[in-house]
Amino acid sequence: MTWKKFSGEIIHSDIHDEVKKAIERESSLGNKLKVCIGTDSQVKGAVTDYATVIVFLREKKGAFMFIHQERSTRKMSIKERMLTEVQKSIEIAYALCDLLDLYQVDLEVHADINTNPMFKSNQALHEAMGYILSMGFVFKAKPEAFASSACANKMVH
Q: What is the mean pLDDT of residues 75-96?
A: 94
How does pLDDT run across 32-63, given as a tens digit for each residue?
A: 999 999 999 999 999 999 999 999 999 989 99
Kindly report, residue by residue over 91-133, the tens digit of the pLDDT.
999 999 999 999 999 999 999 888 888 888 788 888 888 889 9
> How many structural domains is the chain composed of?
1
Cα–Cα distance measured from residue 52 to residue 152, given in angstroms and rounded to the nearest whole number = 6
If you average pLDDT over every residue of the chain, what do you get? 92
pLDDT surpassing 80 at residue 152 = no
Contact 108, 35 (CB under 8 A): yes
Q: Once rounded to an integer, what is the mean pLDDT over residues 80-89? A: 94
Please state, for a pLDDT cut of 90, what percent of the chain lies above it. 69
pTM of the entire predicted model: 0.90
93 and 109 in contact (C-beta within 8 Å)? yes
Q: pLDDT confidence of 157, banded at 50, 70, 90?
A: low
Query: Per DSSP, which regions of the chain are E strands?
Result: 3-5, 10-11, 33-44, 47-58, 63-72, 106-114, 138-142
Q: Which domain holds residue 148?
A: 3-155
Report the candidate in 19, 155, 42 with the shortest Cα–Cα distance to residue 100. 19
